[in-house]
Amino acid sequence: MLEQIEGSHAVAKAIALSRPEVISAYPITPQTHIVEDLGTMVKAGEIENCQFMLVESEFGALSACIGSSAAGARSYTATSSQGMLFMMEAVYNASGMGLPIVMTVGNRAIGAPINIWNDWSDSMSARDSGWLQLFAENNQESVDVHIQAFRLAEELSMPVMVCMDGFILTHAYAQVDIPDQAQVDEFLPPFQPRQVLDPAAPLSMGAMVGPEAFTEVRYLAHHKQVEALEIIPKQATEFEAIFGRDSGGLIKSFEADGAETVVVTMGSVIGTMKEVLAGMREDGISIGALTIRSFRPFPREALREALKDAKRVIVFEKSVAVGMGGIVAMNLRTALQDFPILVHSVIGGLGGRPITRDNLRRMFEKGIRDQLDEPHFHDIHMDVVNREIEREKAECRSGAVAENILNDVGVVAAAKAI
Amino acid sequence: MVEVSETKQKIKFYQTGTLTAGNRLLDEGHRSVQATIDRSNSLDSGHRACQGCGEALGARYAIDAAMRATNNQLIAANATGCLEVFTTPYPETAWSIPWIHSLFGNAAAVAGGIAAAMKAKGREDVRVIAQGGDGGTTDIGFGCMSGMFDRNDDVLYICYNNQAYMNTGVQRSSATPGAARTATTMPVGEEPGNEFGTGKNMPLIAMAHQIPYVATASVHDLHDLEHKVTKAMSFHGSRYIEIYVPCPLGWGSKPGQTITIARLAVETGMFPLFEAENGNLVGVTKIRHQQPVEEYLKLQRRFAHVFKKGNESQLEALQVIADNNIERFDLMSRGKR
């Protein structure tokens, strides 16, 4: 049914339709509305046979899901930012044990400086954890990918993160087709755990594994991700047959075929980009885009096939490996290493910095002339940066960086100018 | 302190020496779970605990008692630590019950999740135990455990308290007593060993959460231990039992003296045995003849320095702690002081 609905509320409905049995919740902006809604639904008896746990921290939230999933219950939680870092030990533990938990990440920056706005630093910090990471473009896809995530997780017996841009998606009202229960039931069978804590058939889980077997256990985690590369497109096809929508999958092309320059990105920013790129094509520039829907597993072959004829690629991402460059760019360069394709790394939108049509167009114009720095920090104010560098050179006790910069650009600077 | 009655037990043994010998004098209904042929052997033989390990002994009695109390419908979550390591060097496992180890600090949350799963599935006959050492309980696992108590999850948390991080090589925890030598509180400097005035009392903190049942037990009195575990399983909601488990390796004691040391800890007043329901003290194990703390301390090399010249104040401070416990919990049998 079509609804004009906030992203978080829509995701909560998708989770409810997926018949979860245990949901754990700890508040952190911007995922909070999702678990608030689920808490209300469980309390009102609208989700059958479901327990809602209010925990003391994100570490507790994911740990509770580890217990409930190991006991054979379909388990869900949501997090963001600092919360994800606080649960990180459990993040690795859940994937190490192969527990098919589904977790929403309302993508948000990591402090310090504390910042509640959107970028991908949180989920990127867990990119090597063994969890699958699916990125949603819009709120319709956020709903659809969550339903797919439960099936994917349970088929592989591995946990899945659904990453949706904080605020840009979680707090945006948009038209979303909320599926009906019969459709979801047809797509998502009941959870059949591979391993379960059961007094009728006792087993020990989470035992110590030494050097004699650790490599093999890790290899199998990698193997599951390789398997997922087959399963994800298959599920997207089956999903489309039932729901009538193309949602999810490994990558999605936006007129990338035959384009000289291809912009590669993830998440919601493609919405703005589509308009910019259409304008550039109207001006005779050969440029298209594609989005990576599944960042883990990384769809190496699909990207190679889609980009093989491109002359250059501009990777735009809201994440940075400090001291190195763009994370998605690094992954893509590895995938394309034997192709004669220039890959530009652009880092933008950090901590919620607005990404506008104008500043994108300016950056793309530089990109098609191969004039971007490596890596290129999109929409950065170098005068502000240089002032701080000068301060640090001038005196040892130069103060706190973030506060200094705020003095230069914020209300203090504005007041000084009066 | 209000006068509290003595912990109710069907059987009391007053003879010295081994208590288990007394089992044979009892009719079968009154014998310990461990004395019965149908005990579940939840923690089976062949594990790799040290000789004289108090934790292995305590865990075996506790889990077998819980198994009997729940008609064998039991799942356990284990914190990282000795108990986890010595029981499951995979592919070997000493556990014959469904058992999960996740992390050092999250056993309570994992157990809470299992209990929630059982509730969601309508299997509330399946009961859940979380267990860990003192480090996994009073330090790194404190947040998750407090959260579990707060939610009143249907879980019995058992802390095997050997008063330091033994698995990592005997470092101080917040359950380490004053003066005790550990690898991070060496007997050097002006105040040798662990500082006085530090540490936490988890049973009292558990009581402050007003959970249905809190108890302390010791491996020298296994009838009492089984009684408390059985009683704990008769409650729903969060329960906490702390079992005093000497560690020969970490304490520098003889493996054959684990039981003696555990008994002396109780009889000196260093480790009071009590029970509480809904935050209120409801029972204590009385002491008939208070032993001086020296009797307890001299069997453990971790306290060797308190007997050295110049450290008399440490010995006195430990005696004060024991005396205060006796006063606070009204531990002396009437008319015996």
SS3 state at A204 = strand
A positions 2-21 inside 8 Å of B (CB): 21
Which residues contact residue A80 at a Cβ distance below 8 angstroms, ignoring those fewer than 6 apart? A28, A29, A30, A31, A105, A106, A107, A108, A122, A166
Q: Which residue has the tokens 């004053």?
A: B178
Exposure string (b/e) for A156-187, b if CB count within 10 Å is 16 or more?
bbbbbbbbbbbbbbbbbeeebebbeeeebeeb
Give chain A positions within 8 Å (CB) of B114. 67-68, 70-71, 197
Whether B120 sits inside 8 A of A89 (CB atoms) is no
Among A283-297, A393-407, B225-239, the minimum mean pLDDT is found in A393-407
10 Å CB burial of residue B237 (0-12, 13-18, 19+) is: middle
Of A55, A68, A210, the CB nearest to B114: A68
Whether B116 sits inside 8 A of A73 (CB atoms) is yes
Whether B147 sits inside 8 A of A206 (CB atoms) is no
The confidence band for A141, taking pLDDT boundaries of 50, 70 and 90, is: very high
Pairwise CA distance, residues A240 & B182, whole Å? 63
Average pLDDT over residues A359-376: 97
Q: What is the DSSP letter of B5?
A: P
Tokens of A300: 């190496």
A196 to chain B, closest Cα gap in Å: 9
Q: What is the pLDDT of residue B38?
A: 87
Average pLDDT over residues A103-125: 97
Beta bridge partners of A252: A291
CATH code of domain A2-243:
3.40.50.970
Pairwise CA distance, residues B74 & B98, whole Å? 7
Cα diameter, chain A: 76
**A56 close to B (CB below 8 A):** yes
A4-63 confidence digits (pLDDT tens): 999 999 999 999 999 999 999 999 999 999 999 999 999 999 999 999 999 999 999 999
Pairwise CA distance, residues A349 & A109, whole Å? 10
Pairwise CA distance, residues A414 & A410, whole Å? 6
Give chain B positions within 8 Å (CB) of A61. 109
Tokens of A331: 């992954």
Give chain A positions within 8 Å (CB) of B122. 49
Query: Are A2-243 and A251-377 in the same CATH fold?
Result: yes
Q: Looking at chain B, which residue has its C-alpha nearest residue A47?
A: B120
Residue B21 has pLDDT above 60, yes or no: no
The strand ranges marked E within chain B are: 74-78, 99-101, 127-133, 155-161, 213-218, 239-244, 274-277, 280-284
Of A331, A169, A149, the closest CA to residue A236 belongs to A149
Average pLDDT over residues A350-362: 98
Whether A66 sits inside 8 A of B119 (CB atoms) is no
Mutate to test the interface with A, among B100, B125, B144, B148 (most CBs of A within 10 A): B100
Whether B144 sits inside 8 A of A210 (CB atoms) is no
Q: Helix, strand, coil shares of chain B as percentages rounded to 5?
A: 40, 15, 45
Rounded to the nearest 10°, the torsion over CA A149, A154, A158, A164 is 10
Residue B1 has pLDDT above 80, yes or no: no
Whether B116 sits inside 8 A of A68 (CB atoms) is yes
Share of chain A above pLDDT 90, in %: 96
Pairwise CA distance, residues B257 & B5, whole Å? 30
CATH code of domain A251-377:
3.40.50.920
Residue B198 has pLDDT above 80, yes or no: yes
Check: CB of residue B172 under 8 Å from CB of residue B163: no
Residue A244 has pLDDT above 80, yes or no: yes
Q: Looking at chain A, which residue has its C-alpha nearest residue B83?
A: A207
Count other C-beta atoms under 10 Å from residue B243's C-beta.
26
Give chain A positions within 8 Å (CB) of B117. 21-22, 51, 67-69, 71-73, 75
Q: Look at strands A261-265 and A160-165 and give their pairing.
A: unpaired
- What's chain A's average pLDDT? 97
Average pLDDT over residues B211-230: 96
Share of chain B above pLDDT 90, in %: 85
Whether B114 sits inside 8 A of A69 (CB atoms) is no
Whether A64 sits inside 8 A of B113 (CB atoms) is yes
Give chain B positions within 8 Å (CB) of A48. none
Whether B99 sits inside 8 A of A68 (CB atoms) is no
A162-174 confidence digits (pLDDT tens): 999 999 999 999 9
Q: Which domains does chain B have, with CATH numbers?
A: 22-328 (3.40.50.970)
Domain residue ranges in chain A = 2-243, 251-377, 392-417
Whether B85 sits inside 8 A of A208 (CB atoms) is yes
Among A24-38, A90-104, B7-21, B51-65, the minimum mean pLDDT is found in B7-21
Average pLDDT over residues B221-225: 92
Check: CB of residue A29 under 8 Å from CB of residue A115: no
Give chain B positions within 8 Å (CB) of A199. 72-75, 97-98, 126
Give chain A positions within 8 Å (CB) of B110. 63-64, 66-67, 70
Pairwise CA distance, residues A254 & A274, whole Å? 7
Q: Look at strands B280-284 and B274-277 and give their pairing.
A: antiparallel
Beta bridge partners of A205: B100
Residue B25 has pLDDT above 90, yes or no: no
Q: What is the pLDDT of residue B12?
A: 59
Q: What is the pTM of this model?
A: 0.96
Q: What is the pLDDT of residue A415?
A: 83
Whether A63 sits inside 8 A of B110 (CB atoms) is yes
Chain CA centroid to CA B18, Å: 19
Q: What is the pLDDT of residue B336?
A: 45
The confidence band for B22, taking pLDDT boundaries of 50, 70 and 90, is: low
Question: B195: phi > 0 → left, psi -120 to 50 → alpha, else beta; which?
Answer: beta
Of B73, B97, B121, the CB nearest to A21: B121
Which residues contact residue B107 at a Cβ distance below 8 angstroms, ignoring those fewer than 6 apart? B77, B78, B79, B130, B131, B132, B136, B141, B144, B145, B157
Q: What is the pLDDT of residue B8?
A: 60
SS3 state at B232 = helix
Phi, psi of B47 (to 5 degrees): -75, 175
Average pLDDT over residues A241-267: 97
